[in-house]
Amino acid sequence: MKMFPPQLPLFLQTVIFYVVVSTSSFSSSAEFMQAKPGCQLKCGNVTIPYPFGIGKECSMIGTEGNGDAHITYNIICDHSYDPPKPFMNATKYFEILSISDSEVRIRNSFTEFNGRTFKSPLEPDHLEFKNSFNKSGLNYLDLSDTPFMVSYTGNMLYGVGCGLVAVYTVDVVGPKGFARKECQSSCENISRDGSCSGSGCCQTDVPRDLESIGVGVLGTATKSTSSFTSFAILAETGKFTFDPADLTLDATQISKKYEDKVIPVTFVNFDYTDGTKRLDNQQK
């Protein structure tokens, strides 16, 4: 079902994702921060401990659910960057920012302009970006074949703009199925204190047990507010501060401004012993 019209006249829409992911803790940090014998431990400035690894021989392959779906821990170390950068080698490509015994931080960014997706300046030019658009017409983040799940405690959806509704739809693992959440913002009295309380900026929480999420902006602008920028951003809880100046920036400026902002989608605890993605564990 098409949730949004193909074009929203007079509105600049930007959707940005940055992702931070959590994994289960090992018995000790020293045990976790090791690579398999004979395998490369670092890619550039990022340490890649097992079960992750640079190359198939150095990483674990797990199964999900009934065992039909494979979860990969294989990391690509891309030497076209200086220093090299690590990327998750699943059917989607995520830049790995850091891995610890309790958290994996990844970056995934794309933008939407008037309902049309275009390549983000943050996206590696030579890698096919497969998360850009789903059939419902929303920007879409799919983690189904990765060892990660979206964190419901680590993330919030923020909407910036006037007379807009920032909407995200999610595919929830388990019996809950499809869900939709939204928040609404107006510009009658724009907040100047950085808060997202509905005046120029709004926010809403993230449901549990998410393997995929789609985000969009539905405009309801009036004539007096149609010149303002509207965008939605999935960001780390408590780490996004509303800046009224964002209302006057274009898509490129918004992407550039937030390119270094890590947004935590925190992910499920997980059993490294057999690589299975266990949804009954306590998600952080």
- Over residues 135-180, the pLDDT tens digits come to 334 456 667 667 777 777 777 888 888 877 766 666 555 445 566 7
**For residues 205 and 250, which has the higher predicted lDDT (pLDDT)?**
205
**What pLDDT is stored for residue 156 in this prediction?**
82
Residue 74 has pLDDT above 80, yes or no: yes
Residue 118 has pLDDT above 60, yes or no: no
Strands (E), the chain: 12-17, 19-22, 42-43, 46-47, 53-54, 61-64, 69-72, 74-78, 85-89, 93-99, 103-107, 111-113, 116-118, 139-142, 155-160, 164-172, 177-185, 201-205, 210-219, 229-236
Q: Which of 263, 228, 244 is nearest to 190 (CA)?
A: 244
Cβ neighbours for 178, distance < 8 A, ≥ 6 positions apart? 169, 170, 171, 172
pLDDT digits (tens, 9 = 90+) for 210-251: 777 767 776 655 545 556 778 877 777 887 889 999 888 877
Residue 7 has pLDDT above 60, yes or no: no
Q: Which of 72, 94, 225, 252 is nearest to 160 (CA)?
A: 225
pTM of the predicted model over 0.75: no
Average pLDDT over residues 47-51: 89
**What pLDDT is stored for residue 167 in this prediction?**
67
Burial of 133 per CB tally in 10 Å (0-12, 13-18, 19+): middle
